[in-house]
């Protein structure tokens, strides 16, 4: 049921100004929280909506809806939603906890970039999880792009070093580097990501760099906690929000954009190779409401 459906009864048409009372706004705030927008962001959005509704004397359902759409879209409009691929090679580290859809998203992104005429190379930087490189290799075959991998347990830094050397030698446009989602502990994981970033800075100092955090839309508020941690240690240039094809609304990205100023760049809408779309804030907000 859409966010607004439950307020239908309150929205008598044409609605009197008085009918936009506190109860109406409280219900709206609650509905935003249920869509994973988060408490602070929901409270702030509704406060802004109230102001706008009063200032503009909005009394019709569609006008109030549009005002809320505008407010949420503004909150999402931070940074550049496009990938920076301005150098050859450009390098993107794909990070996130295990199971969120990193490998799948890399496969889909490789396919998309290849279709745009780019030469892509995948770096199998998750050497910790058994079969992670095999899985990435399957995606490389599907997308028809190169892959550099080593054996399980190899040093991810060494795989990245080899990948960057191969990319330079082969005139590759984009290197997409998979990373582990879990190590022996969280400290190890964060240290490893920092090390991979250093290798990129050293071996490809002038390359355009992206660090994309993959978040599973179904994990709700956890997404904000993950984003805070990864931003602090690895730095983030964008988010890929996966599993939006299910029931999850993914409203958490509004809180993330607000607090961390990190833009969503892509959304995952299924398990297939074509199921990755560039993020469109307005469309996302329309679906949310
Ligand atoms: N429905 C749906 N499923 C997805 C999407 N993206 C990924 N998945 C599924 O989520 C599961 C985990 O995806 P992976 O790509 O293996 O996740 P990962 O982050 O690489 O996991 P680790 O390698 O264990 O760290 C797989 O079953 C994927 O098919 C999506 O957008 N929609």
pLDDT tens digits along 130-142: 799 999 999 999 9
Atom of ligand 1 nearest to the CA of 242: 31
Judgement on whether residues 152 and 276 belong to the same structural domain of the protein = yes
Question: Nearest to residue 110, comparing CAs of 162, 176, 166, 14?
Answer: 176
Instruction: Mark which of 52, 76, 100 sits at the end of a domain.
Output: 76
Q: Are residues 162 and 252 in the same domain?
A: yes
Q: Band the pLDDT of 249: cuts 50, 70, 90.
A: confident
Count structural domains, the chain.
2
pLDDT at 19 exceeding the cut of 90: no
Cα(97) to ligand 1 centroid in Å equals 11
Reduced to 3 states (helix: H, G, I; strand: E, B; else coil), residue 220 is coil
pLDDT for 3: 56
Domain identity same for 58 and 94: no
Region of poorest pLDDT, from 14-28, 92-106, 240-254 = 14-28
Based on the fold, state whether residues 185 and 69 are members of the same structural domain: no
The answer for residues whose C-beta is within 8 angstroms of residue 70's C-beta and 6 or more apart is: none
Spatial contact of 49 and 25, defined as CB atoms under 8 Å apart: yes
Please report, for the domain that includes residue 270, its CATH number: 3.40.50.300
Please give the pLDDT value at position 288: 84
Q: How far apart are CA 162 and CA 174, in angstroms?
A: 14
The token pair at 120 is 């892509």
Is residue 216 one of the residues assigned to a domain? Answer: yes
Q: Does residue 152 share a domain with residue 242? A: yes
DSSP 16: P
Q: Which two three-digit tokens encode residue 165?
A: 């050397």
Burial class (CB in 10 A: 0-12, 13-18, 19+), 52: middle
Residue nearest to atom 7 of ligand 1 (CA): 101
Q: Is 180 annotated as a binding residue?
A: yes
**Where does a domain end: 76, 104, 130?**
76
Residues 69 and 114 in one domain: no
At 276 the three-state DSSP class reads: strand
120-123 sheet: strands from edge to edge: 146-148, 120-123, 174-178, 90-95, 209-216, 238-242, 264-268, 276-278
Domain-located, residue 270: yes
Residue finishing a domain among 35, 53, 76: 76
Both tokens of 245, joined, read 């094809």
Looking at the structure, do residues 64 and 115 belong to the same domain, yes or no? no
The reported pLDDT for the residue numbered 69 is 92
Ligand 1 centre and the CA of 99: distance in Å?
5
Q: How far is CA 263 from the centre of its chain?
A: 7
Confirm whether residue 179 is marked as ligand binding. yes
Say yes or no to pLDDT of 16 above 90.
no
- Asked whether residue 270 is marked as a ligand-binding residue, the answer is no
Q: Which of 235, 241, 276 is nearest to 116 (CA)?
A: 276
- Asked whether the beta carbons of 173 and 88 are under 8 A apart, the reply is yes
Q: Which atom of ligand 1 is nearest to the CA of 276?
A: 31
In a shared domain, residues 26 and 100: no
**Domain of 156, in residue numbers:** 90-288
Residue-level pLDDT at 162: 97
- The enclosing domain of 20 has a CATH number of 1.20.120.140
Kindly state whether residues 159 and 241 are assigned to the same domain.
yes
3-state secondary structure of 157: helix
pLDDT at 147 over 70: yes
Q: Do 168 and 129 fall within a single domain?
A: yes
C-alpha torsion 99→105→107→109, nearest 10: -170
Inside any domain, residue 82: no
pLDDT, tens only, 176-206:
999 998 765 677 888 899 999 999 999 999 9
pLDDT-above-90 percentage for the chain:
66
Would you state the pLDDT for residue 94? 97
Domain contains 81: no
Q: Are residues 176 and 264 in the same domain?
A: yes
Per residue in 63-83, pLDDT (tens digit) is: 888 999 999 999 999 989 999
State residue 143 phi and psi, 5-degree precision.
Answer: -85, -15
pTM given for the model: 0.90
On whether 143 is known to bind a ligand per the annotation, the reply is: no
Residues with CB under 6 A from ligand 1: 96, 98-104, 126, 129, 132, 181, 242-243, 245-246, 268-271, 275
The rounded Å distance from CA 64 to ligand 1 centre is 37
Token reading at 236? 């983030």
**How much is the pLDDT for 9?**
46
Q: Within this chain, do residues 123 and 262 fall inside the same structural domain, yes or no?
A: yes
């Amino acid at each position: 049921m859409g966010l607004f459906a439950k307020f239908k009864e309150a929205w008598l048409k044409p609605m009197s100004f008085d009918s936009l009372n506190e109860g109406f706004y409280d219900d709206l705030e609650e509905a935003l929280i249920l869509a994973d927008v988060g408490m602070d962001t929901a409270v702030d959005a509704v406060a802004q909506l109230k102001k706008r509704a009063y200032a503009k004397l909005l009394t019709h359902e569609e006008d109030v809806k549009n005002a809320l759409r505008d407010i949420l879209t503004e909150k999402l409009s931070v940074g550049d939603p496009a990938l920076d691929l301005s150098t050859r090679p450009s390098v993107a580290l794909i990070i996130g906890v295990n199971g969120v859809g990193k490998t799948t998203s890399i496969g889909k992104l490789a396919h998309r970039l290849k279709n745009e005429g780019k030469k892509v190379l995948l770096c199998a930087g998750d050497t910790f999880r058994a079969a992670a490189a095999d899985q990435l290799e399957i995606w490389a075959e599907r997308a028809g792009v190169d892959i550099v991998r080593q054996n399980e347990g190899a040093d991810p830094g060494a795989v990245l070093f080899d990948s960057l050397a191969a990319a330079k030698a082969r005139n590759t446009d984009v290197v997409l580097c998979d990373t582990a989602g879990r190590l022996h502990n969280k400290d190890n994981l964060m240290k490893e990501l920092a090390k991979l970033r250093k290798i990129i800075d050293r071996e490809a100092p002038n390359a355009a760099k992206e660090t994309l955090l993959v978040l599973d839309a179904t994990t709700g508020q956890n997404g904000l906690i993950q984003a805070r941690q990864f931003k602090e240690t690895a730095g983030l240039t964008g988010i890929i929000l996966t599993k939006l094809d299910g029931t999850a609304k993914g409203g958490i990205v509004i809180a993330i954009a607000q607090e961390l100023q990190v833009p969503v760049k892509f959304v995952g809408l299924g398990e297939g190779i074509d199921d990755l779309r560039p993020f469109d804030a307005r469309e996302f907000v329309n679906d949310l409401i």
